[in-house]
Chains A and B, each alone.
Chain A
């Protein structure tokens, strides 16, 4: 089980681009992709993103994972758009979505959360005057990712326990322990944060 796109350490050129620039490039690419209409241009950018995966030396296992999830999504989007708008438009929409998501995925694979956070904090620095606390962003990003990992782990364990008792179809056999364990996790997490001095200032 993987909980979304996690950083994969490396020293490739893509890894070494400063997080702020990479983030700006990602935004620019997303904007371009949604502005362009030519399937040829879109196909070109999509190919460039695929190439960047090679430059970043992302493991094949990881690439396969991304390809699988994007493939399923692309097939679904294509089918729906084809039905609504026709094949040409469907291809364009599909290329847009796949290119933007593939690029975003590459970003998370090659960029440490800490660096993203620092870049965002730097960008938000001027907002400090208005009471925004950029230093909080790091904790929020960290806790969000932690929550995704923790909740999927709890869900997997609870589902397994329900199956062991032959109750895989029962909603309550899942919902009740899931809720209880989620609340307990939240409790323990709050306590651990307090012990680490969060809330002391």
Chain B
């Protein structure tokens, strides 16, 4: 096991000092070190997308990212969106539109969807499907998730 590394990252808009073994992932740091349990560990292999966070503006797998590699970078979890109107609209439409069942994939889905809407304010169904294809859901069957993203986009576009 590697010795701990001290570093600083920007977490959800605040400067965060961190101490983590060199081989610790960002997911482990967030969940076990910093008590931020929004990102979920579904596979720890970069497939399911439940641990998706934004790193310097890109959706990334926290389970495949070494914590220490985030030194000086901006890491944004769901907590960091605060009153972001697009995220709030997504959250509302997910909650009201039947896009949430067990909820384990939801935080990662929301972050991927929010990133899509930053690029494409009025995405087609296929564009939403492509943007969310790295986030696995076993409960909903995807249709209502895609519709929730489109509904949120339409509401924001008004």
User: Do A and B belong to a common assembly?
Assistant: no
